[in-house]
């Protein structure tokens, strides 16, 4: 490809709030993807929503400093999404969140811009599954299923995907391979399963490819999986061979583990936690973004 690949990341964002440190960092799967894909050579834009508050200002400024196009970033009344993180017995624990204004449907401008992109990245945290057919009509779709391995959900999402990714740190190799095959059988061109300390597995029409992690003295593993997915997507779009793609993604993910927050840009904590919900409440009460006209909820 004679120009850099172009990727639009659509959907979720948060500020990750480290209460014990009184600091917050920009994050969220799609926001992270826009930054990490940019760092490995893609031209990226982020389409999402923040509010006119300290968290929203941090997100916007961080994207600008990282070279991500923010022309599709909306500012809406309300509160920017946040996730609260604490360290308990040496482990990072997610203790609560509020999705604020982050769950939005694509605008006409968003959809028009997809036609000029080589791919759009979104995922389960963005709650826009009903829009995947329209996304897929305009460009390739990368979708992060995260820890959701539900066969019915995979069957709905996979037919629209160029790359379908999963987090499978607790899976054995046979289980991870079976999950990847399920996504491929469902229609995804490529399926990626990240397996934490066991590396990652990538499945495509030409076979199964695997990579080990690059061991580092990790400062913070937040964002490592998003880094890996972004690296794989960019590499596939660039046309590199899978072994090279996985090796480069492993290096990028290791570098992410050497900084605090998903991609840095720390700021003093400035978030009102009065509306914080447990993660169980978030999963139980969050409704998808409004579906396209004539389409019901998936």
What is the CB neighbour count within 10 angstroms for residue 97?
21
Q: What does residue 24 show for φ and ψ, rounded to 5 degrees?
A: -130, 150
Domains in the chain, CATH or no CATH each: 6-285 (3.40.1190.20)
CA distance 202 to 163: 10
Give me the residues paired with residue 75 across strands: 50
Per-residue model confidence as pLDDT tens for the chain (298 residues): 678 999 999 999 999 999 989 999 999 999 999 999 999 999 999 999 999 999 999 999 999 999 999 999 999 999 999 999 987 765 678 899 999 999 999 999 999 999 999 999 999 999 999 999 999 999 999 999 999 999 999 999 999 999 999 999 899 999 999 999 999 999 999 999 999 889 999 999 999 999 888 888 888 888 899 999 999 999 999 999 999 999 999 999 999 988 889 999 999 999 999 999 998 899 899 999 999 986 655 5
Provide the Cα torsion 126, 99, 48, 147; round to 10°. -30
What is the CB neighbour count within 10 angstroms for residue 133?
13
What is the CB neighbour count within 10 angstroms for residue 104?
20
CA distances in angstroms from 162 to 139, 140, 211, listed in the order given:
9, 6, 20
What is the CB neighbour count within 10 angstroms for residue 276?
17
SS3 13: coil
């Amino acid at each position: 490809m004679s120009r850099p690949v172009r990727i639009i990341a659509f959907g979720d964002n948060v500020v990750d709030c480290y209460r014990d440190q009184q600091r917050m960092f920009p994050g969220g799967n799609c926001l992270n993807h826009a930054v990490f894909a940019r760092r490995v050579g893609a031209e990226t834009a982020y389409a999402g929503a923040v509010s006119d508050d300290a968290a929203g200002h941090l997100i916007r400024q961080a994207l600008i400093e990282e070279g991500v196009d923010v022309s599709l970033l909306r500012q809406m009344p309300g509160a920017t999404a946040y996730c609260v993180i604490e360290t308990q017995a040496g482990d990072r624990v997610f203790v609560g969140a509020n999705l604020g204004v982050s769950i939005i449907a694509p605008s006409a401008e968003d959809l028009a811009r997809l036609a000029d992109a080589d791919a759009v990245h979104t995922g389960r945290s963005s709650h826009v599954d009903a829009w995947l057919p329209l996304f897929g009509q305009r460009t390739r779709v990368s979708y992060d299923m995260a820890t959701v391995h539900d066969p019915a959900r995979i069957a709905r999402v996979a037919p629209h995907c160029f790359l379908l990714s999963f987090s499978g740190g607790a899976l054995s190799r046979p289980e991870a391979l079976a999950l990847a095959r399920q996504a491929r059988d469902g229609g995804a061109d490529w399926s990626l399963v990240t397996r934490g300390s066991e590396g990652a597995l990538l499945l495509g029409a030409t076979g199964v490819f695997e990579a080990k992690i690059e061991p580092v003295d990790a400062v913070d593993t937040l964002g490592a999986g998003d880094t890996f997915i972004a690296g794989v997507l960019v590499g596939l779009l660039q046309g590199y061979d899978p072994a090279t793609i996985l090796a480069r993604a492993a290096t990028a993910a290791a570098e992410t583990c050497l900084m605090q927050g998903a991609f840095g840009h720390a700021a003093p904590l400035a978030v009102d936690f009065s509306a914080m919900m447990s993660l169980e409440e978030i999963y139980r009460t969050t409704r998808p973004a409004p579906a396209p006209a004539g389409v019901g909820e998936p």
